[in-house]
Amino acid sequence: MTEFASPTALPSHGGISRRSFNRLIAGSALAAPLIGTRAFGQDAATFKIGYIGPQSGPLGIFGAHDGYLIDAIRANLAGGIDVGGSKMNVEIITADTQSDPVRASQITRDMINSEAPDLILTHSAPETVNPVSDACEAGATPCLSTVAPWEAFYFGRGGKPGEQSFKWTFHFSFGSGNFVNLYDGQWSLLETNKKVGTLIPSDADGNAIRAGLLPAMAEKGWDVVDPGPYENMSQDFTTQIEAFKSAGVEIVVCFPFPPDFPVFWRQAAQRGLAQQLKVMQMAKAGLFAAEMEALGDLGQGLCTGVYWHPAFPFSSTAAGLSNADLGKAYEAATGAQWAQALGASASLFDAAIALAQHSGNPKDKEALAATLPKLKAETAVGTVDFSAGPVPNCAVSGLAGGQWNKAAEGPFQFQLDLVSNADFPQIQLTSDFKPLAFG
C-alpha cells in the first residue's frame, strides 16, 4: 500500500517565490498514481469509493489533508455501514490529479476501467471537478463533487436551465449567490466608498464569477471596477493594480490560483495599493494558514469565504467526529493547522454514506443515480439537499465570512476568525470585522 506524506506547513518567513510555493505544496503529499487499498475483500458486500483530487501541483494544498482524513474515515468505517438492515464494508481508492485537468480525466477513466468503483468523489476547483465529472458521465459511474462554484460545474459543462442535464454527476457547493450574500453583508459592516476592484482570471471559475457575481454586486450598489480577465500563473499585475489605484477602490476581491495571490499582493504593497485598501477579499486563494504564514505581516487582516470551520455546529458521519473534534484531531495527529478542505472533503464521504443507505443497494449504479436527485444528507458543511436545487444536479452549501488575524496564543501564527454569517445565522462569530491597516 502506498502511503500519503504527512501534511506540512509552509515556512513562516515573509518572502516566498512562486517556485518555492509550488515546491513546498508539491511536498505536502505524494504525487502518486492510482492508489488502491484492499481494506476488505473484493465482493458484492463492499461499497467501493474512488476519491480523486489534487495532492500536488498549484492546487495541491487542497489535498494536503488527504492522508489523515482517509485514514480517519477508514478507521471509523472499519466495521462497515448499515444498508437495508445489513452490514456493508467500505473500500476507498485514491488518485492524484497533480492539478492537471487532462490527467484528472485520464486517471478517472483508468480508475473506472481498472477498479470499477461504485461511486467517485472529487473536489477543489473546476480544473479538477469538471474533467473528473465528465469522465464519470461518459463512463456511467455516479460521481459527487464539491468546492467549486456550482455554476462552473453545471453551466461550465453545458448544463441547461430547468432540466437534469447529467444522469451520473452531481455537485454541492457555494455559488455566486453565496458570494453576493457574503460580500454585501460583510463589506457593509465597514464605512467605504463602495468602489470594488475585481481580479478575476480567464478560467472556468472566473467566467462563472464574472457572469454571476459582478452584475449582482452592481445591483446591490457596489461600484465594480473590472480591468478584464488575466491568465493564471501571471507574473505581472501592474495593469490591474494601476487601474485599481486610479479608480480609488477601497475593496479588492480576487479569485486566483493559490500561487498567484502572493505575486499580486506583494506587488500591490510595493505599488501602494495595499495601503489604499480597507478590504482585501480572496476566494480559491487565501483559504489556508500556510499561505498567510508565507506572507508574514502582509497576511494580517486578509479576508476569505469560509465553507468549513471547526466552529460550524455540524458533524461528519464518515469520520465519526464533530467539526470541532475533527479540527482538533487533525492538529494533534499531524502537527499542522486545520484547513477548510479537511471538512469539505469529509462532507463528500458523509454524503456518500447517506447515498449508499438511501439507495438501498449501492452496488447498483442505476439505483445510486436514481437516488442522487432526491438525496438529502447531513454533512460536515451542513445539510446537502439536491431536491432543493438551484438547478438539477446541484445543491447549495453556504459561506461564512472569515478574516485572518495574528494568533494571540497557541502554536500557530494565524487564526481564521468568523466575522460574518449571512448564509449561516446559526454560526457564532468569533471576532469583529476590521479594516486593513497597512502603513
Span of 119-123, 244-248, 424-428 with lowest mean pLDDT: 424-428
Element (DSSP H or E) covering residue 366: helix 365-371
Check residue 109 and give its pLDDT.
98
The vertex-286 CA angle with 285 and 291, nearest 5°, equals: 105
User: Which residue matches cell numbers 500563473?
Assistant: 233
Q: Which residues pair with 322 in a beta bridge?
A: 315
Q: How many CB atoms lie within 10 A of CB 42?
A: 11
Instruction: State the distance between the two ends of the chain, measured CA to CA, in whole angstroms.
Output: 52
**Cα dihedral sign for 66, 71, 76, 78?**
positive
Check residue 25 and give its pLDDT.
37
**268-279 mean pLDDT:** 97
Check residue 11 and give its pLDDT.
29
Is residue 50 within 8 A of residue 331, CB to CB? The reply is: no
Backbone angles phi, psi at 193, to 5 degrees: -85, 5
User: Please, which pLDDT band fits residue 439 given cuts at 50, 70 and 90?
Assistant: low
**401-410 mean pLDDT:** 94
Check residue 9 and give its pLDDT.
28
**Higher pLDDT among residues 12 and 216, named by residue:** 216
Check residue 43 and give its pLDDT.
52
The vertex-260 CA angle with 259 and 265, nearest 5°, equals: 115
Question: Could you tell me how many residues make up the chain?
Answer: 439
Element (DSSP H or E) covering residue 254: strand 251-254
Work out the mean pLDDT of the chain and round it to a whole number: 90
Cell of 191: 464605512
Cell of 58: 498549484
Say if residue 397's pLDDT is above 80. Answer: yes
Domain 177-305+400-420 has CATH 3.40.50.2300: yes
DSSP at 311? T
pLDDT tens-digit map of 4-62: 232 222 223 333 344 433 433 333 333 334 444 433 334 559 999 999 999 999 999 99
Check residue 438 and give its pLDDT.
75
Check residue 31 and give its pLDDT.
34
Check residue 437 and give its pLDDT.
85
Q: In what order do the strands lie in the sheet with 414-420?
A: 223-225, 195-199, 251-254, 279-282, 303-306, 400-406, 414-420
pLDDT tens-digit map of 349-361: 999 999 999 999 9
Q: Where are the domains of the chain?
A: 18-175+310-396, 177-305+400-420
- Enumerate residues 6+ apart whose C-beta is below 8 A from 278: 190, 192, 250, 251, 435, 436
Say if residue 368's pLDDT is above 50. Answer: yes
**152-176 mean pLDDT:** 94
Say if residue 376's pLDDT is above 90. Answer: yes
**304-327 mean pLDDT:** 97
Check residue 34 and give its pLDDT.
43
**Cα dihedral sign for 351, 311, 180, 213?**
negative
Rounded-to-integer distance, Cα 199 and Cα 153, Å: 21
Q: Above pLDDT 90, what percent of the chain?
A: 83
Check residue 14 and give its pLDDT.
33
The vertex-394 CA angle with 57 and 321, nearest 5°, equals: 70
- Enumerate residues 6+ apart whose C-beta is below 8 A from 75: none
| CATH class of residue range 18-175+310-396 | alpha beta
pTM greater than 0.85 (yes/no): yes
**258-286 mean pLDDT:** 96
> Do the domains spanning 18-175+310-396 and 177-305+400-420 agree at the CATH topology level?
yes
Check residue 20 and give its pLDDT.
37
Say if residue 2's pLDDT is above 90. Answer: no
User: Please, which pLDDT band fits residue 212 given cuts at 50, 70 and 90?
Assistant: confident
